[in-house]
Amino acid sequence: EAGVTQFPSHSVIEKGQTVTLRCDPISGHDNLYWYRRVMGKEIKFLLHFVKESKQDESGMPNNRFLAERTGGTYSTLKVQPAELEDSGVYFCASSQGEQYFGPGTRLTVT
Cβ pair 99, 82 in contact under 8 A: no
Q: Whole-angstrom Cα distance, residue 13 to residue 24?
A: 22
Among residues 7, 38, 45, 108, the one that binds other proteins under rule CB under 8 A: 45
Of positions 17, 20, 31, 87, contacts other proteins by CB under 8 A: 31
Element containing residue 39 per DSSP (H, E): none
Closer CB to other proteins, 59 or 81, in the complex: 59
- Strand 88-95 relative to strand 19-24, pairing: unpaired
> Is residue 7 at the binding interface for other proteins, with CB under 8 A as the rule?
no
Binding residues for other proteins (CB under 8 A): 3-4, 31, 33, 35, 37, 40-45, 48, 55-56, 59, 91, 93, 95, 98-104
